[in-house]
Structure formats: C-alpha cells, structure tokens
Amino acid sequence: MNVKTLTVKFNGEIKGYEIPLFRGAVIEAADHSLLFHNHQGDGYRYSYPLIQYKKIGQNPSIVCIEQGVESIGKLFENGDFTFRIGENVRKMEILSVNANKINVQLWETKFNFMIKRWLPLNPYNYKIYNSLSTQIEKVQLLEKILKGNILSFLKGLGIFLENELVCNITNISRVYVEKYKGVGMTAFDIAFSTNLSLPDKIGLGKNAALGFGVVRQNHLS
C-alpha cells in the first residue's frame, strides 16, 4: 500500500515537555476536528493516531499520515498560526512542508531504522522486563513489543500482512526515564532492522502522537 505522509515544520523552538501544549493549541486552531485529537465524544478513538505532534530538530512539527494529510487543511484555512504554548503566545510561521509517499510492504531485504523516546513498557510488561535475568531475554521481549507496535500502525491504516513481519533490535544506545503527566516511564533509544518499509518520522508505541517513539531511517547501518 502506498502511504502518504506530510510533515509540517514551524519556525521557533520547542521543548519536549511543551509538545502536549503545542498539540492542544493546534487542536483549538483546527476547531477540534477528530483526527487532531483522536477522541470521539467523551471517549478515545482507539486507533493509530494519523496526526502526530513532534519536535524535529528544535522545531515544533506535525506529521500527518493518510487521512491526516487531508485533515490538515482544517488548520490551514485561516492561515493564522498563533498558538498559546503554556503561558506564552507564539506567532509561528511554516518553515517547510514535505510531502512523501512510500510503499509500505514486506520485502526480501531488511531496512535499518532508529527509534527515539520509545515507550514500550506498560505496567504489566514492565514487571516482566525487570524479572528477566539476561539481556538476551530482555531484548527478545522488546522485539516482541516492537513488532506489536508496528502491527498496530499497520492495522490503523488497514494494512494486513500475509507473511511474517521480522523485527530485530540491533543496538540499544540509551535507556532513561521520560516524564509524562508527572509519571516517569522507561524510554529507549534503539536501532532495529525489519523486512517492512516504514515512513520516516512516524511514531510507534505509547504516546506516539506526542513525540514519543519517533522512527527515523538509519542510513549509517
């Protein structure tokens, strides 16, 4: 399946902890359109987020995927990008708009990627992870979770694989704590290989819409 993406980068700088505030400001500017906030009524839209908010370099950015590409027009209607980020009002301008299309499918060869600020561990598998005695077992668990994250991404786009998805973690460069809503969560920066082609800058795992689990092509591997 050919998957469309659109990355909109704004001028100025943003801190990682400000991304949820940036998201809230964009939602307000887009008149609370569904894909911008992933909620339906009083509940949550339990599907992969098609509009994601990130820090790319130091810049506040929005990554749109498939239907999200069409929905971003709601934000562009009045051309006013004055956002309230916490206590500050910032008048932003669009720095760049990059459209892309990638054929997301399984291949005989593998692709190398990096993923940063990845949050793979929920309370249940956090206990399992800490109970494992060897690094090999921990990596195998993380590979299983990563595979599930990728399958969730595919399901959100209506893509179902006929053959096996393969994911191998090739390096864990950093393990650290990220705070979200005052709660510390174990985050990972990793490199991995997979036989699936993936769009650049999409999010995987928990809080993918808020700048966590950002996937980048690893051209150095």
What's the number of domains the chain is made of? 2
Q: Assess whether 45 and 79 both reside in one domain.
A: yes
The pLDDT value given to residue 181? 77
Q: Whole domain around residue 7: which residue ranges?
A: 2-102
The pLDDT value given to residue 74? 81
Q: Assess whether 76 and 123 both reside in one domain.
A: no
pTM, to two decimals: 0.90
Q: 182, 44 in Cβ contact below 8 A?
A: no
Q: Which two tokens stand for residue 178?
A: 């990220």
Q: Assess whether 35 and 125 both reside in one domain.
A: no
Mean pLDDT, rounded, for 100-123: 95
As a dihedral over the C-alpha atoms of residue 103, residue 150, residue 95, residue 36, rounded to 10 degrees, the angle is 110
Whether the per-residue pLDDT at 103 is higher than 60: the answer is yes
Domain CATH number, residue 25 = 3.30.70
Q: Assess whether 213 and 112 both reside in one domain.
A: yes
The pLDDT value given to residue 43? 46
Q: 125, 141 in Cβ contact below 8 A?
A: yes
Q: pLDDT per residue over 5-32, tens digit each?
A: 999 999 999 998 999 999 989 988 877 5
